[in-house]
Structure 1
């Protein structure tokens, strides 16, 4: 029973603190009175549920929600933080890899998302490194979404 109280307990504490600080009009925290903060609170609740209650399936949504909330907070504040779809895929990859660390499942998905994130985030540098192969890479780059769809369909219909 104790383990089932962690998630709602963290949610209530986090939301209560959020709304208290919002009502108090404390200017120090003014930039945190936004919906990404609520994503972070829910994500942290999932992470506490995952690690403290040993409900390891909660790690993935915890990392995704916390990471997305953190992304939306820092994307306009840090020059080095990328505002790119690859950032979201990297956060998802991190969630799968952290879940794999505890559950032992999800390594393939984590590595797949990690490779995809690296390709998306560093596409310009990769094409510069490849130099002469740029025409072939640009052709492949044009059709990679179709390749993802085909691989996804294959994974859905393949039998174990």
Structure 2
């Protein structure tokens, strides 16, 4: 981090506000005083550091932490929000895509991970629309781990 004051400053302000609200018993929404809020604070600090300090490599951890924290809050308060591994993969892919927009590298990885997340999120609908009879659980347990490992190995060993 080039500018060392932005990230710790935002984290301290965020934690200070969090503890002030907790002491004052001002709960913004049910479940606010929990660990996902702390993830959101640190994620927001990474994003502010990334965009205000022109340190775009901080976009990925910022999106992941803020996204995971927001997901855990939303899944507790909104019944229609999917509680699925695909959401976590989607958040990671958004982090890659947002970082790639600023750094001009990593867009391919973000799009591949986005496609994987869409497959996880809509797997049941995809299989029924194609008329596939097997249960989705059996297919995922048999196929996806190997496909994901193969994609990961490809990313590790391919030459530029």
C-alpha contact 2:47 2:63 (8 A) present in aligned 1: yes
Give the match for residue 39 of structure 1: 39
Tell me if structure 1 keeps the 8 A contact 2:93–2:113. yes
2 CA distance for matches of 1:124 and 1:2? Answer: 46
- Any stretches of 5+ residues in structure 2 without a counterpart? none
**Alpha-carbon distance in structure 1 between the residues aligned to 2:138 and 2:16:** 52
User: Is 1:6 aligned to residue 6 of structure 2?
Assistant: yes
In 1, the alpha carbon distance for the partners of 2:137 and 2:16 equals 51
Structure 1's 2 and 104: CA in aligned 2 closer, same or farther, altered over 3 A?
Answer: closer
The alpha carbon displacement at 1:158 in A equals: 3.2
Aligned-pair distance for 1:126? 0.1
The runs of 5 or more residues in structure 1 that have no matched partner are: none
* Structure-1-length-normalised TM-score: 0.89
TM-score when normalising by structure 2: 0.89
Aligned residue number for residue 116 of structure 1: 116
- Please say if residues 7 and 46 of structure 1, whose CA atoms lie closer than 8 Å, have aligned partners that are also in contact: yes
User: Which stretch shows the higher mean deviation, 29-38 or 63-72?
Assistant: 29-38
**CA RMSD of superposed structures (Å):** 2.2
Match of 1:51 in 2: 51
